[in-house]
Structure 1
Amino acid sequence: MTIRPQKPIRRGLALVAGLAITSAPATADATAQTAPPLFDSGFGLTVVSQPAWVDATRRTFTFAVASDQVPTPTLLPGQTAGQHVIMVTLPTDYDSTGATRYPVLYALHGNADYPNTLRNQRITEQSTQTAPLITVHPNGSGRGWYSNWVSPGALGPQNWETFHLDQVIPLIDANLRTIPTRNGRAIVGHSMGGFGAFHYAEHRPDLFSYVGSLSGGLDLLNQEQRLAVVETELDPSSGTPTAGIDSIFGPPFWPFDGVWNAQSPAQHVEPLRGMGVAMYVGNGGDLTVDPIQAIVENRARETNLVTAANLTAAGIPYDFIDYGDGGTWAPGCTGKHSQEPCLQADMNHFIPLIMRRLQHP
């Protein structure tokens, strides 16, 4: 599907005008589940905390695992050492004893965020209210960058890509009624998670049939994007203990920056051929209002423009929703980097896209 921009920015790019979809919250009897499914350990993961509903609607539960691929993740306040919380939202009619199987959307959070926030829950439950879809929010740490780190040092192994793709996905397939094929999976992420979604889809196109980025930083050749990654490595607000500037992708300086170049999603789009692709981003709006979030979004947009240009050059179809200052995208969205109204509108648009492609009941 091609979406036309209000003001052309380049051929193949797009801007959608629309409003966030609203729907009533699920009621306590909207799902057939009275207790969340029990999980068995496996695939290098040990279930250390069984699923528990987060509230009375009984659609969303959390559980925790320990991983031999990331045994000691850096921690944000409230997180438990050695554990990874995973949040799962089920379809309203999910029945663990039934025969129906569902596709899965893997949703990757951003830097210094948690998988199990109330915001992530709200956005997911609203956007999937009528969709026969399981949504999984895995832990990505405050600074995991959805990559196998090249120099983790004293932190120990930080193999986030292996953790998610070779451990979490098969664990979910083994314990929930999923459609465990490429046609039954999609992936999306916000900010750092947008990078992760494209990074994973490009590395493992056999796993996913659709990929989406919400304000993702997609171009590691961009020096501002490199600075953003380095800042997350050094900043205690992204988790403790902190890391070195070469921990994730190696030294960020030429001629030692080969890993940065090789892992940049914007320049390696060919594996996305045949996959559904969608990108959502604003321009930051008034840069004098909430300037940090405004500038971060404005710069993220530049990495999306590079990615879009490379997709166009490769002849790979995609949707690019470039909503500017947010005024025509959703009430309350002003084009900043991490605004719930913007993200809700993004997901309200993205879910119907993937459901037209995913195998589902």
Structure 2
Amino acid sequence: MRTPPTTWRARTRTAVAAAALTVTAMLAAPPAHAGGAAPPVLTDGFGLTQVAGGTEVHSDDDFTITVTTPQVAGKHKIRIFLPSGYRTEPGKRWPVAYFLHGGPGNPDDAAAAPALRSDSMITVVPDGGRKGWYADWLMQNTAEGAANWETFHLKQVVPFIDANLRTIADKRHRAVVGLSMGGFGALHYGEARPDLFGHVASLSGGIDFGMAEVRAAVLATELNITGAWCAVSTSTPSGTGRCTGYGPTVDSDAIFGSPYPVLNADRIWKAVDPAAPVNLAKLAGTDVTLYTGDNDVIDHFTAIAARNVKTRMDTLGLPSRLVDYGDGSALAPTCDGGHNYGCWAPALADYVPRLQDSFDAAG
């Protein structure tokens, strides 16, 4: 059942309107920090080593660290938005939202969604790779090198953040939110670790691996076939001119193995399929929200995937919320119903106040 836009609360309408007015300006990279308070000093651990000189300070409450880990080849950024009261209330602990970007994006894409800068929570944006798909890859010897993204995030980044920042380290005060590729990641992580996340939100996510079109999207990133995706705007912020591809070409079986349903060759796809009832059942007790448009070649299929997930959760007797904003006209002036931040920023402006209320209700 779809949530009618006309039922949204007045506060949410105000937040959505504000996002619509500011999203264009926020698409640009944030200005360099001109001074002010230094970011918190974080201590290495859980397999993460900070790169000397790799910290970027964007403002008093917005900074990025760079880390290395044996789990994922290369250097990787983690951007952190602190609530404005983090420094002035040193005895207070805060809930945390993990935001998973899309492909071929990076943690700086979060700047395009003003609602993620919340004074009610810490927001953490880890690198997910241009085509990491929030998974531990089947093949670890491709041109991408080590690619255990799920291990990096769930067994390293989450405990690292809890050890270094004043978080409330329980599932009732921890959310995972993602869009596009990250929309898959959010729902998958919620299912893989229901002990970690009490709140899950997927925006325009590739969340039904039973659909050939969704599997094809994964293959397109593995094979670096960018043309069709760039033509309709990718999951990087629109207006930046960025659609630089998904990195080096890797084997089409590199992430989840063979996608073809012959003699159970696609067993990994089925095992991690977020829409599979056996996986959805793991979300009992988790707040689940889905957003999607339905007005371009990508979101046409993410809408089908979201409806499939919603229907199956209803069948399982599990509550969830689906906002299908169609062509976007009822969501925000910036939204055309397509696969872009013009829709995702106001969708997040709708979601974040609701998440704040849930955190508050948890005590």
- TM-score bucket (shorter structure): 0.7 to 0.9
From 65, 68, 71, the counterpart of 1:69: 71
How far the C-alpha of 1:263 sits from its partner, in A, is 0.7
Whichever residue aligns with residue 313 of structure 1, its letter is: T
Instruction: Decide which structure has greater helix share.
Output: 2
For residues 245-286 of structure 1, give each alpha carbon's deviation from its aligned partner in whole angstroms, at most 9, with x where no partner exists. 0000000112200111111101121111111110000111xx
Q: Counterparts of 1:177 and 1:135 in 2: how far apart (Å)? A: 12
Q: What residue number does 1:257 align with?
A: 266
Change (3 A) 1:129 1:249: closer
From 326, 329, 333, the counterpart of 2:328: 326
How far the C-alpha of 1:96 sits from its partner, in A, is 8.0
Q: Counterparts of 2:327 and 2:67 in 1: how far apart (Å)? A: 40
Runs of 4+ in 1 over 4 A off after TM superposition: none
Q: What residue number does 2:150 align with?
A: 161
Task: State yes or no: 1:38 paired with 2:7.
Answer: no
Whether the aligned pair in 2 keeps the contact of 1:209 and 1:358 (CA below 8 Å) is no
Change (3 A) 1:66 1:129: closer
Q: Counterparts of 2:211 and 2:46 in 1: how far apart (Å)? A: 36
TM-score by length of 2: 0.83
Q: Counterparts of 2:93 and 2:17 in 1: how far apart (Å)? A: 26
Q: What residue number does 2:79 align with?
A: 87
Whether the aligned pair in 2 keeps the contact of 1:276 and 1:354 (CA below 8 Å) is no
Q: What residue number does 1:138 align with?
A: 126
How far the C-alpha of 1:128 sits from its partner, in A, is 4.7
Q: How many residues align?
A: 319
Q: What residue number does 1:244 align with?
A: 251
Q: What residue number does 1:305 align with?
A: 307
Whichever residue aligns with residue 343 of structure 1, its letter is: W
Q: Counterparts of 1:158 and 1:299 in 2: how far apart (Å)? A: 27
Whether the aligned pair in 1 keeps the contact of 2:98 and 2:176 (CA below 8 Å) is yes
Q: Counterparts of 1:101 and 1:218 in 2: how far apart (Å)? A: 33
Q: Counterparts of 1:128 and 1:163 in 2: how far apart (Å)? A: 22
Whether the aligned pair in 1 keeps the contact of 2:103 and 2:246 (CA below 8 Å) is no
From 138, 156, 178, the counterpart of 1:150: 138
Q: Counterparts of 1:153 and 1:202 in 2: how far apart (Å)? A: 27
Q: What residue number does 2:96 align with?
A: 104
Whether the aligned pair in 2 keeps the contact of 1:86 and 1:116 (CA below 8 Å) is no
Q: What residue number does 1:4 align with?
A: none
For residues 61-113 of structure 1, give each alpha carbon's deviation from its aligned partner in whole angstroms, at most 9, with x where no partner exists. 1110001111x2xxxxxxxxx10011111101111881111010000000101
Deviates more, 1:146-155 or 1:57-66: 146-155
Q: Counterparts of 2:189 and 2:117 in 1: how far apart (Å)? A: 26
Calculate percent identity across the aligned residue pairs: 38
Q: Counterparts of 2:116 and 2:206 in 1: how far apart (Å)? A: 25
Unaligned 5+ segments in structure 2 are 23-30, 226-243
TM-score by length of 1: 0.83
Whichever residue aligns with residue 282 of structure 1, its letter is: G
Q: Counterparts of 1:14 and 1:200 in 2: how far apart (Å)? A: 24
Deviates more, 1:33-42 or 1:304-313: 33-42
Q: What residue number does 2:232 align with?
A: none
SS of residue paired to 1:299: helix
Whichever residue aligns with residue 355 of structure 1, its letter is: Q
Unaligned 5+ segments in structure 1 are 1-11, 73-81, 285-293
For residues 288-338 of structure 1, give each alpha carbon's deviation from its aligned partner in whole angstroms, at most 9, with x where no partner exists. xxxxxx101111111111111111101111110000100011112110111
Change (3 A) 1:96 1:87: farther
Q: Counterparts of 1:21 and 1:145 in 2: how far apart (Å)? A: 31
Q: Counterparts of 1:132 and 1:35 in 2: how far apart (Å)? A: 21
Q: What residue number does 1:52 align with?
A: 56
Whether the aligned pair in 1 keeps the contact of 2:82 and 2:119 (CA below 8 Å) is no
SS of residue paired to 2:63: strand
Change (3 A) 1:189 1:129: closer
Change (3 A) 1:68 1:96: farther
What's the RMSD between the two structures over aligned residues? 2.2
